[in-house]
A = this chain, B = another copy of it.
């Protein structure tokens, strides 16, 4: 099945603090191995990105930082942290929402593919076993060398569809 499947959902409560602590300790390891510095700020931004399984805008994160840090940071502060986290593969950007979400399996580098519910706004990261090969095959047919894949499927998750 799909090792990226995450249980969190407005209709599916779970121990989300576990998700957060898993993400943070995975981040420590990834940065350790890469020789990159997971500073307090970067760690805090990652934690904020992981506050839910919904993509969050940079200005949402900024707002939260401002509420807690007292001295309001400016946009570049959060964008630089997000750039770093994306470089380390700890965060994905969702182009169709101008938003960011924590990566569900940062241990190996990969493109983020997502199912995004328009109702509850939860984004589920897919494993690539089906979609990536299809993309690779099409690209090969067209003699196109792939560098980045944006795959964002919008619709309704099962819980939201049943609720409606």
Query: Interface majority SS on A: helix, strand, loop or mixed?
Result: mixed
Interface window among A14-22, A64-72, A148-156: A148-156
Interface assignment of A46: CB less than 8 Å from any CB of chain B: no
- Contact status A158-B139, CB under 8 Å: no
The proximity string for A residues 120-136 relative to B, scoring 1 for CB distances below 8 Å and 0 otherwise, is 00001010001101110
Copies in the complex: 2
Write the nearest CB–CB distance from A9 to chain B, whole angstroms: 12
Give the complex CA separation of A36 and B151 in angstroms: 31
Give the complex CA separation of A50 and B147 in angstroms: 26
Write the nearest CB–CB distance from A18 to chain B, whole angstroms: 22
Interface assignment of A12: CB less than 8 Å from any CB of chain B: no
Tally chain A residues at the interface, Cβ within 8 Å.
37
Q: Which residue of B lies closest to A143 (CB)?
A: B158
Residues of B contacting A137 with CB < 8 Å? Answer: 130
Residues of B contacting A158 with CB < 8 Å? Answer: 142-144
Give the complex CA separation of A131 and B132 in angstroms: 9
Knowing that A96-B150, A115-B138 touch, tell me 6 more A-B residue pairs with CB under 8 angstroms.
A2-B142, A142-B157, A144-B158, A145-B156, A148-B153, A148-B154
Contact residues of A with B, CB < 8 Å?
1-2, 5, 95-96, 115, 117-118, 124, 126, 130-131, 133-135, 137-139, 141-158, 161
